[in-house]
Structure 1
Amino acid sequence: MSLAADTREAVRSRPFVFDALRAGLLNHSAAAAWLAEAAPLDGDPDAVAAALRRFREDLPAYAAESRAVTVSMRSGVGLSAADDATEGDAGEPLLRVGDAALVPEGDRTAIVATGDVDAGALAAALRRLAVRDVDVAAAGVAGDALVCVVGRRDGPDAVRVVEASLDAVPTTDSA
């Protein structure tokens, strides 16, 4: 591959660099020096910086959209083995992924967003929760529901973080 193609691949493999490049916030010289070492790229950092500038010209501008959602908090949920979760009664799992189930009894809090949600909305919420050092024990999205399970004490802050993230979900237009 060419240095330009290698640079594009290195950027796509690092979403934070991709987002900064799209938003026009990237110092091309600093990013080129970092990518030359981190990727690693076989080329002069000045040539990598030029490749970054050309790549930026081909990208759509960074944009975000607000989602029409209702966010609520449900305290007292827990994680259990899916086999232990009972069906058809008050203990029916709220969410099931592989061998784990989110059940309505436990010491965690579920943040539930309903409405215009998808994998992009979940990614935006998880990214903001991670930046705020909120540990997420489980998360998922299906249909019109998004769920993030956090510690009980993190619940109120997590609601605010998820609401804010769904007010500015990055669009998925990419090159």
Structure 2
Amino acid sequence: MSLAAATRETVREHPFLLDALRAGTLNYSATAAWLVERGGLDGDADAVATALRRFREDLPAYATADRTASVTMRSGVGVVTDAEADGVGEGVDGEPLLRVGGAAVVSEGSHTALLATGGVDAAALSAALRRLDAVDVAVAAAGVAVGGGDDGSLVVIVDRRDGATALRVVEDALAAVPGVDGE
């Protein structure tokens, strides 16, 4: 594999670098040195910097898009195992709010659920989770589902004390979901 191809592959393994590269905010020399020293890339830092500059030329520009969605907050939810969920504080039609693998989110507990409906998808969930992490709000559970149209549902479960902060963060994240020009 060529150094240019290896550089592109290594950058894709570190999405924060890909975002910075697309946004035009990447310091090529510092990033090249980091990729050689810590990123596992085998090559000369100057050659890697050149490969990064060329890679940038091929990438679509970084952009954000506003997602139209309604965000509500629901206190008193819990994350339990599926076995514990049977008959305990279930949501609409006796079903948990969210079920993933062997866990379920039910309507009895010490957490807060943020529910967003509308123009949400995996990119919106990713943006929300990244922002929540940046403000040190721990997420107990999260999920997204997109129906047949453009509308979807997004659920993020946080500690009750973090509910108001998380609501603001999720609303802000949905107002500027990262993407590329034209998306």
Q: TM-score range by the shorter chain?
A: over 0.9
Paired AA for residue 116 in structure 1: G
Residue number in structure 1 paired with 2:170? 162
Inter-partner Cα distance in structure 1 for 2:39 and 2:165: 36
Is the aligned partner of 1:146 residue 2:154?
Answer: yes
**In the alignment, what sits opposite 1:132?**
135
For 1:111, the aligned partner's letter is L
Count of paired positions: 172
2:17 counterpart of 1:8: no
What TM-score does the superposition give when structure 2 sets the normalisation length? Answer: 0.90
Distance in 1 of aligned mates of 2:63 and 2:129: 18
User: Quick check: 49-58 or 164-173, which moved more?
Assistant: 164-173
Displaced runs of 4 or more, over 2 A: 89-92
Alignment of 1:68-147 (within 5 A): 68-86=68-86, 91=90, 92=94, 93-143=96-146, 144-147=152-155
Contact 2:89 2:106 in 1 (8 A): no
- Aligned-pair identity (%): 64
Contact 2:131 2:173 (C-alpha < 8 Å) held by counterparts: yes
SS of aligned partner of 1:171: strand
Deviation at 1:71, TM superposition (A): 0.7
Q: Is the 8 A contact 2:60 2:180 kept in 1?
A: no
User: How far did 1:125 drift?
Assistant: 0.4
Q: Give 1:90 deviation, angstroms.
A: 5.5
Residues 87-145 of structure 1, C-alpha deviations (whole Å, 9 max, x = no match): 5x863311111111100010000011110111111001001001111000000001311
SS of the residue corresponding to residue 5 of structure 1 reads: helix
- Per the normalisation by structure 1, the TM-score is 0.94
Letter in 2 for 1:65: A
Unaligned 5+ runs, structure 1: none
Q: Does the CA contact (< 8 Å) of 1:120 and 1:172 recur in 2?
A: no
Paired residues of 1:111 and 1:159 also in contact (CA < 8 A): yes
Aligned counterparts of 1:81 and 1:36: Cα–Cα separation in 2 = 43
Checking the alignment, whether the CA contact within 8 Å between 2:122 and 2:144 is kept in structure 1 is yes
CA distance in 1, matches of 2:39, 2:60: 24
1:148, CA displacement in angstroms? 0.4
Partners of 1:107 and 1:127 in 2: CA distance: 23
Conserved 8 A contact 1:109-1:150: yes
